[in-house]
């Protein structure tokens, strides 16, 4: 087998995403054949080199691709020092090495992927690939159709430009409005911040689609494996 970059090996083994693996290398907690390696360009031979992270041996694993309907109240991390509920609690214990592809904030729900494939995660989350995601938001107050162009034009918040690629008003009354949005960037709490700038508070947020994959009838809190066809379709759209 040919050699591969150390951060790719760690990502493929399910240690962390490739970017997170690079941080581990820089921190000096990764060893190859007993020697600490901090150079990001370093390569390893997966068949013959012994790689460890913080003293624990790292071995290649079968790649897994899971779709989860995340409930509110769970956070998108594998381990939480505050012992809050994490999405890995919803999966079989032997899959504790999986990491989320991107994030949904604690109060949000809906479709999220988990994997141990760092390349897959990178292609679905890096801004240069522009994978679109769809959401349904319930917000306080009445939104008028005439206001929606503000979302697609973009607004400034804390030095960032936030915008939706598409937006559609589904329903509205004097107390609440239901809106469907499509985003390409996925910045931190972007939808909640978008509405906040325009004077509305999001009371419920659900992600319904990532690329060509829809949430469908997957029950809240349940998971399923992505099919090989779905995986190919996601990567071909990235």
Q: Which residues are catalytic?
A: 105
Report the alpha-carbon distance of residue 60 to residue 157 in Å, rounded: 42
Report the alpha-carbon distance of residue 43 to residue 2 in Å, rounded: 10
Enumerate long-range contacts of 51-56, CB under 8 Å, 24 or more apart.
51/6, 51/9, 51/10, 51/13, 53/10, 53/15, 53/24, 53/29, 54/29
With 0-12 CB in 10 A as exposed, 13-18 as middle and 19+ as buried, what is 142? middle
Report the alpha-carbon distance of residue 60 to residue 75 in Å, rounded: 26
3-state secondary structure of 205: strand
Report the alpha-carbon distance of residue 231 to residue 238 in Å, rounded: 11
- In what helix (H) or strand (E) does residue 234 lie, and over which residues does it extend? helix 228-237
Helical axes 118-125 vs 18-27, angle rounded to 10°: 110
């Amino acid at each position: 087998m040919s050699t591969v970059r150390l951060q790719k090996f760690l990502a493929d083994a399910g240690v962390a995403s490739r970017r997170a693996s690079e941080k581990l290398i820089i921190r000096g907690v990764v060893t190859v054949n007993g020697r600490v390696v901090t150079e990001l360009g370093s390569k390893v031979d997966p068949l013959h080199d012994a790689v460890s992270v913080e003293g624990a041996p790292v071995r290649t694993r079968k790649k897994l691709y899971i779709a989860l309907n995340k409930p509110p109240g769970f956070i998108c991390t594998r381990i939480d020092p505050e012992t809050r509920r994490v999405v890995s609690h919803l999966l079989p214990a032997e899959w504790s090495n999986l990491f989320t592809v991107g994030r949904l904030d604690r109060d949000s729900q809906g479709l999220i992927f988990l994997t141990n494939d760092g390349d897959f995660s990178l292609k679905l989350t890096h801004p240069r690939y522009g994978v679109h995601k769809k959401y349904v938001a319930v917000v306080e107050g009445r939104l008028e159709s005439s206001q929606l162009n503000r979302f697609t034009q973009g607004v400034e918040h804390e030095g960032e430009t936030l915008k939706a690629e598409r937006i559609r008003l589904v329903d509205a009354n004097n107390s609440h409005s239901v809106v469907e949005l499509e985003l390409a960037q996925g910045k931190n709490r972007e939808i909640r911040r978008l509405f906040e700038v325009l004077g509305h508070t999001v009371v419920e947020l659900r992600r319904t689609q990532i690329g060509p994959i829809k949430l469908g009838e997957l029950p809240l809190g349940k998971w399923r494996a992505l099919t090989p066809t779905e995986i190919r379709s996601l990567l071909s759209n990235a």
